[in-house]
Amino acid sequence: MSDFFYSPQRRSQEDLQNAFRVISKSAADDLHLFEGEWGSLAVGRSPYLGYEPYEDDRHICVVIGGPVLYFRDNHFFNSSEKNEGTRSLLMRWRDSSIQWDEDLSGPFVVLIVDKHCGEVVCITDLMLFIPVLIYGSGKDLAIASHIDMLAVLCKQRRAYDPVSLVDFVLHGWVTYPHTAYKAIYQAQPASIYRWNVNNRLTTSVYWEPQQTEKFSNLDEAAHYLREGLTGYVERVTASMDHVAHFITGGEDSRVLAGVLPARLKRDAYIFLDHMNREGRIAKGVAQVYGANFCVGFRSRSHYVDILPEAAELCGSGFQYRHAHSFGFHDRYKLRDYPAVFGGYFSDNLLKGFCVRTLSINQRFDFLPQWPVPSAAEMPAVSHPLFSSNVLNEITNRRRAHWARADKVESDNRDQWFAIWPSTMRSSITNIHVNRRLFASFEPFLCKEAVKVCAAVPVQWKLNRRLFWRAFRSVLCPSRWHRHADGRFPFFPWWVNFPIHFGTSLFRAVARRLKISTSYQGPWCDWNALGRSPEYKTAFARLGATLHQRDEITDVLLPCFAQAQHLSIIQKVNLMQALHLFQVAEEFAEAPTEKHHLDTEEIQRVRNIDR
């Protein structure tokens, strides 16, 4: 599990290992542990080759995630050099020549400890694709990449914030910069945090999403995006001959299939409830692009079954239901691939998925999209199950974040409210899970995709204009394969309008006449799951353990008593919150023995190749 914890206070080996077990039972089995006058640092084993921690006589450098380097080759992704990438980053940083927004691409966290003076530097990626969580300041400071692990080590495991839990149940995320815990907050995206020897914190922002006149026309922006995406993939795969990627019936995954070099052996994976329309389209697309099609089938209760482990892997306040690969990663040995590619986040960055459009667009997705200016103020949050005090505080937090989005783009605050940082998207846990389980690479998270999103007007993103201009040549081989929604992705929106409308009308009539009743999507039919006996049993079992004892259970108890006021997704969020609350209760009761590591023990558990 590629996660880290740092504190200027020394922590025992046993405490660190126990905390990592909060993530998963195996997370503590293979830790890098460091200790000195500067404090304690624990780092999990990275699934990315080349990014194990690196230590020399003065510095320790840690990289979380698998950033693609642009100042050198990336052959270490498929070599025996376990920390070559980490070492290169440290050398680049020492030379004071590193540009964090240009030299690295994709999700990352970089942590550098100066053992001589005790200074610690932590750098976050452009969109906080990998969150950094911070507790306290000065000598009480602690930072980590997993929230519950941090809470355990800072004795905050039972100090949940009831307002944040309600926010999570209602929306699927906790409004930035808050977290599920009262005393823990999220770091800023695209920022450099520096804690010096006097335990003073300084923060500098190295990049911000500001709309500029960088591109004179749509074709220029599309060319920049296409070159950026293909360049990212080529840098990753330059030394590889066999990779995996995810495939669906959509257009993003077929773009991914098209930009992967044809010289590679490619295994294309999809996970389904049964072989439906989505699977048949994906199979045809995989054949067109020369990939080996692999399908995995879920049990009816899969998303109920994985809740305990997947929820703990994601952490409190991060929605587990997007852990689509969990379980399949072992079945198909995804960790054995040097790279597993996904097609996530394209809708959010490149197609204006979060841009406010006409209300009719939400109901009839085949209609052309027209942007609507953002509301002057974020609407107040209301719900019959929760007190006005809690709802007012959630509203205040959302409005504070709304004001941050206004600084990026006042006409379309909706988009930046939802993606800046990315922890405001509930589905971002797809990335959080994958990067912990295998060497996950997401081309649509490359630096060029992020920067073009910030630079171009929303009109270029809507109706797939930017996306289509950038990737129409890549979509050409699969031009006669429909999208799962009925469109032909190779063609522009105005060609697809009558096709999409006709398909939507036909399917609506078929549903009304009950000609077609089986689920045709790639993920989970949550409504069907909510009617299943497995879900009802799990929901009732969790509810039966809830007793009105404190402010947390006081908030959650009405949710079970009047569950009809919650949607199925909100009920699933509630189940996750309660499961992790119960784990916190059990963990707090478990005694731990404290001791410090001696020098020989540190060397034994580090297992670092210098």
pLDDT on residue 609? 32
Distance from C-alpha of 40 to C-alpha of 401, rounded to nearest angstrom: 33
Q: Does a structural domain hold residue 597?
A: no
Going from the C-alpha of 151 to that of each of 20, 148, 195, 459, 576, the distances in angstroms are 11, 5, 20, 43, 17
Element of type H or E holding 390:
helix 388-408
pLDDT on residue 589? 52
Domain end marker among 164, 186, 210: 210
Q: Which two tokens stand for residue 172?
A: 């699927």
pLDDT at 20 over 80: yes
Residues 222, 184 share a domain: no
pLDDT on residue 214? 83
CATH classification of the domain holding 278: 3.40.50.620
The Cβ of residue 351 has, within 10 Å, a number of other Cβ atoms equal to: 21
Chain mean pLDDT for the chain: 90
Total count of domains within the chain: 3
Contact at 8 Å (CB) between 268 and 293? yes
Q: Which two tokens stand for residue 604?
A: 């034994």
Q: Does a structural domain hold residue 328?
A: yes
Contact at 8 Å (CB) between 175 and 167? yes
Question: 192-206, 413-427, 585-599: which range is least confident on average?
Answer: 585-599
Residues 482, 565 share a domain: no
Contact at 8 Å (CB) between 189 and 125? yes
Closest-CA residue to 337 (of 346, 353, 325, 354):
325
pLDDT at 95 over 90: yes
Q: How confident is the model at residue 516 (pLDDT cuts 50, 70, 90)?
A: low
pLDDT at 293 over 60: yes
Residues 115, 58 share a domain: yes
pLDDT on residue 426? 94
Residues 222, 204 share a domain: no
pLDDT on residue 161? 95
Residues 197, 99 share a domain: yes
Q: How confident is the model at residue 199 (pLDDT cuts 50, 70, 90)?
A: confident
Mean pLDDT of 342-361: 89
Q: Does a structural domain hold residue 338?
A: yes
pLDDT on residue 369? 84
425-434, 503-512, 535-544 — most confident range: 425-434
Task: Tally the residues of the chain.
Answer: 610
pLDDT at 605 over 50: no
Q: Is the dihedral of CA 547, 552, 558, 560 positive or negative?
A: negative
pLDDT on residue 603? 36
Closest-CA residue to 441 (of 153, 596, 238):
238
pLDDT at 116 over 90: yes
Mean pLDDT of 491-516: 85
pLDDT on residue 30? 84
Residues 546, 468 share a domain: no
Q: What is the pLDDT of residues 31-90, one digit of tens each?
A: 999 999 999 999 999 999 999 999 999 999 999 999 999 999 999 999 988 999 999 999
Q: Does a structural domain hold residue 608?
A: no
Q: Does a structural domain hold residue 408?
A: no
Closest-CA residue to 61 (of 72, 53, 69):
53
Q: How confident is the model at residue 554 (pLDDT cuts 50, 70, 90)?
A: confident
pLDDT at 400 over 90: yes
Q: Can the peptide bond before residue 177 be classed as cis, meaning omega within 30 degrees of 0?
A: yes
Residues 469, 348 share a domain: yes
Distance from C-alpha of 404 to C-alpha of 155, rounded to nearest angstrom: 31
Q: How confident is the model at residue 517 (pLDDT cuts 50, 70, 90)?
A: low
pLDDT at 358 over 90: no
Going from the C-alpha of 424 to that of each of 104, 129, 131, 146, 319, the distances in angstroms are 23, 10, 11, 16, 11
pLDDT on residue 54? 97
- Compute the half-sphere exposure of residue 300: CA atoms within 13 Å on the CB side of its CA: 10
Q: How confident is the model at residue 595 (pLDDT cuts 50, 70, 90)?
A: very low
Beta strands in 59-108 (DSSP E): 59-64, 68-69, 104-105
Query: At which residue do the structure tokens 């550098």 appear?
Result: 112
The Cβ of residue 341 has, within 10 Å, a number of other Cβ atoms equal to: 27
Residues 224, 202 share a domain: no
pLDDT at 597 over 70: no
Q: What domain range includes position 33?
A: 4-210
pLDDT on residue 509? 85
Q: Does a structural domain hold residue 598?
A: no
Question: 189-198, 366-375, 435-444, 495-504: which range is least confident on average?
Answer: 366-375
pLDDT cut 90: percent of the chain above it: 73
CATH classification of the domain holding 105: 3.60.20.10
Domain end marker among 512, 545, 572: 512
Q: Which two tokens stand for residue 276?
A: 């439906």
Mean pLDDT of 371-400: 92
Residues 552, 501 share a domain: no
Which residues in 73-86 are b (16+ Cβ under 10 Å) and which e?
ebbbbbeebbbbbb
pLDDT on residue 1? 67
The residue ranking higher by pLDDT, 153 or 553, is: 153
Burial of 499 (0-12, 13-18, 19+ CB in 10 A): middle
Contact at 8 Å (CB) between 401 and 179? no
Domain end marker among 193, 210, 227: 210
pLDDT cut 70: percent of the chain above it: 94
Q: What is the pTM of this model?
A: 0.92
Residues 198, 58 share a domain: yes
Mean pLDDT of 359-381: 82
Closest-CA residue to 462 (of 376, 359, 374, 367):
367
pLDDT on residue 591? 43
Residues 167, 35 share a domain: yes
pLDDT at 598 over 60: no
Q: How confident is the model at residue 548 (pLDDT cuts 50, 70, 90)?
A: low
Distance from C-alpha of 56 to C-alpha of 262, rounded to nearest angstrom: 40
Q: Does a structural domain hold residue 382?
A: no
pLDDT on residue 588? 60
Going from the C-alpha of 528 to that of each of 280, 317, 363, 574, the distances in angstroms are 22, 25, 21, 18
Q: What is the pLDDT of residues 258-273, one digit of tens each?
A: 999 999 999 999 999 9
Residues 8, 49 share a domain: yes
Q: Does a structural domain hold residue 412?
A: no
Mean pLDDT of 155-161: 92
**Would strands 109-114 and 68-69 be described as parallel, antiparallel, or unpaired?**
unpaired
At 342, give phi and psi (nearest 5°): -125, 165
